[in-house]
Homo-oligomer: A and B are copies of this chain.
Amino acid sequence: MKTATKVRSIASALVKNAGKRVRFASGKVAPFEQVKQHLKGRLAAGDWTPGALMPSEAELVAQFGVSRMTVNRALRELQLEGLIDRVQGVGTFAAQLNRVSSSLTIRDIHEEILARGHTHHATVHLVKDEVATATVAQRLGVIAGSRVFHTLIVHHENGVPLQCEDRYVNPECAPDYLSVDFTQVTPTHYLLDVAPLWEAHFSVEAGLPSAREAKLLGLKQTDPCLIVSRRTTNRGVPITQARLTHPAGRYQIEGAYKP
């Protein structure tokens, strides 16, 4: 029992598991799931106006004949989904607004291309130790004049340029960043290793490439691009800021929302 790090061949198990999203598929539904679905249905039907007081855990226990832990789990998950608000000592309330929060997966470009069954290679166009200008310093979140690492890398899918990655890195967080071979490992992958716990803010917009980006991506400067800007921090300490430019038509972000 001490072989905690033993790596089994679990591929088959995980594949089997993938098709098992709905447990108790054959009629049986777990009680906590029943409570959850019942409340979800009534919320959807408008039984409680936003902000209205909903039944307490004790009332639901009596109504469904299950234990409080079961009701509690149902309510906790509904709260996580943003459908209800709970206040200790007060009660449970229907959520104020129907906010729709979508889950969107941003993957390492290398893994993403490989997952499509295509080949990935990167060309490195700049690896430099710079002094931050005011603009760069503000975007990364360090003080102007600090040392920053700067890389400019183009990622290709099947030989076609797909992403121009213009990245600044805080030397404090990744002192050996400049010595990484970026044709072998992506900056994202390396930084995830060095500083694995981080928060990120990002924005997605359409725009035109800079002259250099256009040249590296094989575009005209009037060709539209999808531009993702991402800034990541670790407990408030800035790690990296990246501008990822993708030619329109070659790349799109996908996502899904499930209630």
What's the minimum C-beta distance from A190 to chain B, rounded to whole angstroms?
A: 12
Q: In the bound complex, do residue A52 and residue B7 qualify as a contact, i.e. CB atoms below 8 Å apart?
A: yes
| Number of identical monomers bound together in the oligomeric complex | 2
- Which B-chain residue is minimally distant from A201 (CB atoms)? B256
Question: Given the complex, which residues of B lie within 8 Å of A256, measured CB to CB?
Answer: 199-202
How many of chain A's residues touch chain B, expressed as a range?
A: 35 or more
- Which B-chain residue is minimally distant from A248 (CB atoms)? B206
Q: Interface segment, A122-130, A165-173, A222-230?
A: A222-230
CB-contacts of A1-48 with B (<8 A): 1, 3-8, 10, 13-14, 16-17, 40-41, 43-48
Q: A4-B54, A208-B224 are in contact. Are A254 and B100 (CB under 8 A)?
A: no
Which of B59, B87, B200, B251 contacts A10 (CB under 8 A)?
A: B87
CB-contacts of A220-259 with B (<8 A): 222, 224-227, 246, 248-249, 251-259
Q: In the bound complex, do residue B201 and residue A254 qualify as a contact, i.e. CB atoms below 8 Å apart?
A: yes
What's the minimum C-beta distance from A35 to chain B, rounded to whole angstroms?
A: 15
Q: In the bound complex, do residue A207 and residue B249 qualify as a contact, i.e. CB atoms below 8 Å apart?
A: yes
What's the minimum C-beta distance from A5 to chain B, rounded to whole angstroms?
A: 5
A105 within 8 A of B: yes
Q: In the bound complex, do residue A5 and residue B53 qualify as a contact, i.e. CB atoms below 8 Å apart?
A: yes
Q: How far is the CA of A69 from the CA of B251 in the complex (A)?
A: 44
Which of B1, B87, B208 contacts A59 (CB under 8 A)?
A: B1
CB-contacts of A158-206 with B (<8 A): 192-193, 196-206
Q: A53-B7, A53-B8, A87-B10 are in contact. Are A251 and B205 (CB under 8 A)?
A: yes
Q: List 6 A-B pairs, Cβ < 8 Å.
A: A41-B197, A106-B257, A202-B257, A224-B224, A224-B248, A226-B226
Chain A residues at the B interface, C-beta cutoff of 8 Å: 1, 3-8, 10, 13-14, 16-17, 40-41, 43-49, 51-56, 59, 69, 80, 85, 87, 90, 93, 96-108, 111, 192-193, 196-208, 222, 224-227, 246, 248-249, 251-259
